[in-house]
Structure 1
Amino acid sequence: QSLFGEKNLIEVVFPRATIGKNGPAAVEAIIEHADEDKMVVVSLFDYDWTATKKDWFNHLMKAAVCIRTDPIDRNALPRWIMERAKEKNGQTLTPDAANLIAERTEGNLLATSQEIQKLALLVNKPEIDVSDVLDAVSDVSRFDQESLFLAMLEGDAGQVSKIIDSLQGENVQIPSFLWMLTDVVRNLLLLNRGLAARTFGLSEAHRSALNRAARRANPKLLELMLHRLSDVDRMSKGLFVESSDGDAWQELKAVCLMLSLKRK
């Protein structure tokens, strides 16, 4: 319940394609008990055409306002970015600029939308190219988030823990910066394997810390970190992860501390 609101917001998440033996009865109960004092949001992930034939699904659709959000294919994401920037900001993005945003946000639409909003605030011109995007990404890095990446790379466990607690306390949404954190770990893995990392837009301190961390980190550790960051992403979106207790912030902290506590 909101501090000043009169209604209760109830969020119900079905993370799988099937809702189990007791699921239909639960849906019927949700519909039956919803009233003017309750706003109920039901999220159905990964359902297919077979679910649409079920009674519970049809009852839910009749009782609710349905908003369908299909995933956007990676190849279609740059065009989506260009259309959204034009619609929201009245700005035209070059194809290369849209591709760069798509690459950095890796399909995370929340992060992508935020980047488009930042461009509107920071770039006062009708057409935006790659250099504009690079400058904006560099300029808008949150202090706490950039500090988190550097503390993780330097192996400062105390600072890592403190910054993550601060981000959680400020109610920062994990998906808004998780893609950047994942990019840090991928760069570490590339450098560890003797390959070139994607370091454009990064500060000199960040690049130096990357190189130092890559020399000491075990590649198996980095691969494990990427796997667990994928779990963090799922948990932050309300999806079930069997190997975790469901606390996305604690899992995020555990992953970031892995570089602090492990060495070759």
Structure 2
Amino acid sequence: MRIDFAQLDARLKQRVEPVYLLYGDEPLQLVEAADAIRRSCRRHGYEERQIFSVLPGFDWKELAAETDALPLFASRRLLDIRVPEGKVGHEGARVLSRYAEAPASDTVLLLILENAPAAVAKARWFQQLERRGIAVQTRALHGREFLAWLERRARSVGLHLEQDALQLLAMRTEGNLLAAAQEIDKLHVLYGAAVIDARRLARAVADSARFDVFDLTEAILLGQVQRCDRVLAGLAAEGVAPAVVIWAITRELRLLLTLLDDRRRGIPLSESCRRLRLWERRRRQLERALQRLKPADLHRAVRLAAQIDARIKGQQEGEVWPGLRDLCLGLASGTDLVDWYEKVG
């Protein structure tokens, strides 16, 4: 059965299907659909998860052998297969077709076809798998569809966007769901559950600020200590909310930890960046940071960021901007992170 992305949540509340096919050209929907399926599987007791990344040289016999094997300790399992180029080739088609003929018991197969052409849905193996479960096609949204998506997304975090704000956000993000989602997250950090008019929105996403939080995170990733200090001081002087600053830093920390986890599983950085839709400039920045920072440093930084967030919310005593400065300069320099964390923690 083929459904739209918007229908997936309702289907997942009904039951878990033995096969899920995700394909299309909208990266945020692909990521969120896959995450929703994984959460549903965990809720239904599919505790074992095996990940396969179909990179050049991938041996489909490994997947075939795994589908023939019984789950460990008779547990339910999720076979999470990621195909960055959206093409499975002749051998992949043969293995997947064979699987569709006799799916493994107590197993969910999740196949994520990134950048796949629409014609993939006409392939014999695809149609065989689709008959065993659900295919979700993601696609770009335009016009009224995009406006409706923005409204639902904002409502999901407790925001109400007035019509003028909705139109302004649509104009600024131009159908880019990932950019729009980030702006909505930023609005939620700034205002919480609130009504947002065009003035508030313009203030939050203003293009005219001398510095923005992305200048800061770029300086942190590149290890530019003096620039980092200068940009942070500029943000404080311009009255940028510290909640937005800590949100941006935490976002980068989580991304770096995701890349480290991928590296531990043997996934190259280039492949991780392609999957996460990170362009070459971002890849170089992240690579510089990963060369400088150890996993332990990043975990300490996450804990400190949580402390600063508690200070911002009034849940913990302590100064906010000095804490932010220690966090930013510690990450940018990559030195004395242990002493710095123990000093302020």
Q: Say which one has the larger Rg.
A: 2
Q: TM-score, normalised by structure 1?
A: 0.47
Q: TM-score, normalised by structure 2?
A: 0.38
Question: Comparing both structures, which one devotes a greater share of its residues to strand?
Answer: 2
